[in-house]
Each structure stands twice: as C-alpha cells, then as structure tokens.
Chains A and B, each alone.
Chain A
Amino acid sequence: MRDTIHLVAVYSKTTMRAWFQYRVDAFLKSLAVFLREATGIIVVFFTLLKFDTLGGWNIYEMLFLFSILFLTYGIMIIFFTGLRDFGKTVRDGSFDRFLLRPRGLLFQIIFVNSDWFAALGHGGLGIALFLISAGKAGINWNVQNALYYVFTIAGGVLIQGAIFLFIAVLNIYLLQTDSLKEMLYWNMRKFAGYPISIFHKIIQTLMIYVMPFAFVNYFPAQYLLRKDDMNSYPEIFMYITPIVGIVMYLVAYAFWRFSIRYYKSSGN
C-alpha cells in the first residue's frame, strides 16, 4: 500500500514535470482551453440577459449548473487522461509496455498521464463559475449542503470516468473510437449545460438513462436550488449521484476486465 502511494506520487511528479516543462506554453495552453470553453458560456450569458430566465432558471442558477459540469470534468481529466487517449495507446503499441510492467493495467493507464492543461482550463472555469454563482444563486451553504456538494462532485467525476472507461474498452474491439466518443460523450454534454426539462422527452431520457449527465449536474443542482421543474422527476434522483457513479464505474470496470483478456488473446 505504501509502495503504491509512493508510486502514485512519483507518477504525478513525473507527469507534472513533463507537462510544465515549458511554463509559458503550459499557461497559454491552459488559458486557451479556458477561453474556448468560456466562449460558450458567454453566449449563454448574453442570451439570458435578454430573456432573463430559461425554463425558470435565472442566469446565476444556470452558471451554477455549468460550474458543476466543468469542475467535474476538470477533476475527472486528471485521473482519466490515459483513458481518453487509450485508443492512441493501443494503436501505437504503448499498451504493450504497460503489460510488461508489474503493476495493474488500469492503475498504470490512470496514473501514467494527466492532461493538466485540460484540467486547469476546465477546472479553472468551473471554479470561476462557482465563485460567481454560488452566492447569488441563493444556495444555503450549511454543513449538510456542503457535504452533499462534495459527494455529488465525486459522483459526477465517477460517472464521466465510467463513460470514458467504457469508450476506452471499445478500442480493444474497434481500434478507432474517436467519432463514437464525439457522438456519445461530447454531443450529449452540450445538452448538459442546460436544465434538461427544457428539452424533448427523448433527449431527457437519453440524459437520464443512457449518458446520465443529468446526474452529474442537473439533479444535484436541483437538490440545492429546488426549482419547480423538479416535480416531473422522481425525488430520489436528487440523492443518488454517487451511487450512479459507483455502479456505472463498476460495470465499466467489469467490461474492462472481461475485454483485456480478449486483447491478450487476439493481439491487436
């Protein structure tokens, strides 16, 4: 155990060093990610200045919804960069190197690389939006709500991590899943910035049961904000984000375990 923690520390030190070799470049790249994502938010911001509310949500409530999405992604990418890039790892043969090291495969994939630019860009935006919105959205930050917030962020990280893991496993069978990820993950994520109640039933169903982004930010935000549109969903949905995260991750992990045998027996 101590050995593993030590290794994680060395891995983190190494990846940080590699990413921050060129400090100015690192700063600019993180800033670029930040600005790219922030542009989308600014559009929403100005739209709402005109319309006041969207499906009953005012600007600060909306920004709070966004903040959870970005913060969870920022944290998630620290751990799951290796899964995001897993297709490349398999294609260029680096995965063989993992197989040659006396450590768990998923452990290596998770800790061997972290995209700190994406982490700082998305995470930084998430924190900025949180700071802008958390006070003005009218949330009572007592101990109970703060604790809820922490657990729900962890759950949201796990949900997205599980999706990444699942798509990464598909690489073992398909070798090229970038467009699949674009379709499943990124397109659905575009909806997740808004209260799902404004969308057609089909999209709502997708967001709850297929790519459950609704559990990443919408239902948790509902717990803290209690908007009227929550009435159309079961109340329990506001409490189960961490469970959804854990269950999804375990399922994805089982799929991974099953498939890795296939990799070893089939080559590539």
Chain B
Amino acid sequence: MSIEVQHISKTFGAFAALTDVSLVVPDGELVALLGPSGSGKTTLLRIIAGLEEPDPNPDSGILFHGENVARRGVGQRQVGFVFQHYALFRHMSVFENIAFGLRVRPKNTRPSKEAISAKVHELLRLIQLDNVGNRFPSQLSGGQRQRVALARALAIEPRVLLLDEPFGALDARVRQDLRQWLRKLHDEIHVTSVFVTHDQEEALEVADRVVVMNEGRIEQNGTPEEVFHHPATEFVMQFLGHVNLFRGRIESDHAVFGPWALQNSGSAQDGQEARMFVRPYDLDIHTADDGRPAMKATVTRIQAAGPTAKFELLDENTQPIRVEMPHDRFRAMNIAKGDQVFVSLKDSRVYVEDYVI
C-alpha cells in the first residue's frame, strides 16, 4: 500500500508548519521523516493519519494506493498510529488495549470473541510479551509499553503504519534494541511504514528511505546512503553528523579556502562567496609539512574513547576544526595536546549560493 502526499500545506495561526509538501512512500517500505523539532515532520505524519486537517487546497491530496483518502475521517483510514507517549488506555489491561480496535468495530464486521482472543495472543507473541496480557500499562517498562502500542496499532490490520518518535521516550540501551527489533518486524510484516524521528542515527540505521525535513519543507528524500554521502543541501549536510565549515570565494576556475583550491566546474562567478563542508573523518592530520596543501592548527583537545579518536583543533584564525581518525593511526602518530599540526583535505562538499560543486 503506497502513500502519496500531494501539495500539503498547514498553518497554525501565523506559523507555517508545512509548505507545499509532496512525498511518495513506495509500497512496503519503511521511511523515516527526519528533522529538528519544528520542522513539520510530526504535523505531516498526523495529516497522513487524519488527526490533523491540511489547509484547504484543490490540488492537495493524501493517496493510499492511488485512492484519495483526504476526505475520510481518521477512523475510516485504517491506519495504525503509534503515539510518542504510547497513549495506551490506562484503565484497560494489555489484552484489552490490543483488542480495542477489534471490539469497537460495527457488529457485522466484528470478529467473534474467540477470533479476537486468538488475534490478540498472536500479536502478544509477535511483540514477545505473551505473559503480560493481564497487566496494566502502568505495570510495564517503557520498552514494553512501546511494543504494546505497536501491537494495538497492528491489531486492526492497518493499511499503513505511522509512528511518532517511536523511541523518543526510551533510554539509550532500550532504544538500540527496539530499533533493531522494529526493523526485523518490518521485514516480517512488510506494511508500509512511516516514522518520525529527530535522531539521525536512528533514521539512517532503521529506514529504507530517509526524508529530511526543515522549516516545513522536504530538503532531501533518498536512501540513507544518499542523504549521508550526497547531501542535497547545506542543511542536510549539517544535520546528518558533525561537519566543519570553511568560508572562501571563487577565484577564476577555482574555489579557494585558505591553502586549499578546488576545481570549480560550475558556473559560479568570480568573487562569489563559497562554503565548504568537510566531515571530521574527511580531514587528515600530519605532524610535518609534507608538501600537500595543508592548514596549520593547534591541538586543543584529544578524545580517544569511542570508535574513533576525536581531535579539536584551532586554526590560525582561531576557528575550531574537528577531526576524527582511526585509533591505530592516532597511536602511530603520537600527538599531544598543544602540538602544532598540519590539516589536509581528503574529501569535501562546496556550496555556492544555490548549487553544489
């Protein structure tokens, strides 16, 4: 069941939460809406579910498998929605929570008691909580509640599954586990799913596609690899992981940033300002000048815990630079705080006004 969002805008008073957003989620994929708070990602999710009305516009539409559901009420869209704080019914047992969507069906489509019970037990097994059916939500841990909320959403056999910050309220360890579990679950049940997150690592690890949002617009829609390695905009570059910014300008056919000059293949004018973004691991450090174009800098901090060794440097204009390198290389080099070093460039992305070199 594919989801298609066409020309959706949403304003709250004077605040534009979404501005002409269009998006296609292919059938069976798990897509992340990624962005900072206030980027409109949750509003978009709630509009898809029908919990929020988009601004009226004749061109707008919400299509499930090609069928426009924009005029249908939230209860008629048959979506599974998992709320950020779970919104489990506090006065019902876990069993009753999961059975709710089946019990409230009109008489002629409501499954029999036995069928409901069988379905609930099947879902309890799916979320690996077979023995908690009689408990109340307040007796469960955060991770368990999250899984119950998911089972409740799945009970109505939703056409699409929507999750609002599904791991937002959990501690780091449970988050990790649950995230892998969700990915595995999606591979089993294959229901088209959209989840909202502000955690880039989560989006990149779990999703088939990542839709990066900012200020009510979609900045980029691509596979995790695409958005990470080929960011379409400065925002995406900066939002996905740490990045160093260098300012420079176009001189004839080069973009010049201090000691570095990069070939300018675009049509940028002479003297135009340019910005270069470099990931910390795309910079290299040497203790001696080996002739490569390099920037002189002083080491102000070394942080060697974690998967890579991280350096904080100050260049000659006291601009901070972050560099990461593998531990073995760090050990071979023998650098200490306060040392003078030379920073060279392995890879970078340069942005001039509206386009990418």
The answer to whether A and B come from one shared complex is: no
Interface residues, chain A, CB within 8 Å of chain B?
A: none
Interface residues, chain B, CB within 8 Å of chain A?
A: none
